[in-house]
Amino acid sequence: MTDLYQRIVGQRSSLENLMLKVPGYRGYKDASDRRAADRMMRDHIVALLKEQMTRLVNVEKKLIGSGGLKYASRTRSAKTNFQMFIDRVNTAMPGYAGFYDAQKVGQEELEKIYNFDAALIAYTDKFRDQIDALDKAVQAKDGIDAAVSALEALAQEANTAYSLRENVLKEIV
């Protein structure tokens, strides 16, 4: 598969990372809790991502207001891809629907899903860091091109990672 896939599934301690980063998260251990845990986790991730989208809109306004109109189409493209990622996380059917059936899912399959979910949380940090970098570039009026390019690439990568997660779920269920 792709390098991105290998990076995601190669993470260790994914369940622990999820449990530490999502307030009130009960885990995936009991089948009856999986759907609620999945929704709780995605709601938390979406809230964090929406905070970053608000920040991006504000940085974009600063950029355009300070003469950076030439970046408007690229920041709009990054925002569109970022919003698509947020929407995909928010509106997806519960990722663990197949686990509610009589079928047994092994630890290896669960670990793959935990890794992808940990990656979703990691993207909230990546977007925050990239928006910070863009904000600094706008303030310094230097490095804006590189910061916008990195943000565009991150938004595309996040959507690719989410597609990989969907593919893994299809294989499992």
Average pLDDT over residues 48-73: 96
Average pLDDT over residues 33-51: 81
Q: How confident is the model at residue 92 (pLDDT cuts 50, 70, 90)?
A: confident
Return the half-sphere exposure (C-beta side, CA atoms, 13 A cut-off) of residue 49. Answer: 24
Which of the given ranges, 8-12, 30-34, 44-48, 50-54, has the highest pLDDT on average? 50-54
Tell me, rounded to whole angstroms, the distance of Cα 32 from its chain centroid. 25
List the chain domain ranges: 3-172
**Range scoring the smallest mean pLDDT among 28-37, 82-91, 161-170:** 28-37
pLDDT given at position 101: 44
Residues with Cβ < 8 Å from 30, sequence gap 6 or more?
none
Average pLDDT over residues 97-125: 69
Asked if residue 166 lies in contact with residue 128, where contact means CB atoms within 8 angstroms, the answer is: no
pLDDT given at position 118: 81
Query: Looking at the predicted structure, is the pLDDT value of residue 48 above 90?
Result: yes
Burial 19-47 (b: 16+ CB within 10 A, else e): bebbeebeebeeeeebeebbebbbebbbe
Asked if residue 100 lies in contact with residue 35, where contact means CB atoms within 8 angstroms, the answer is: yes
Type of residue at 87? D
* DSSP 8-state assignment for residue 29: S
Helix or strand or coil: residue 41?
A: helix
CATH fold of 3-172 reads Bbcrasp-1 (1.10.3160)
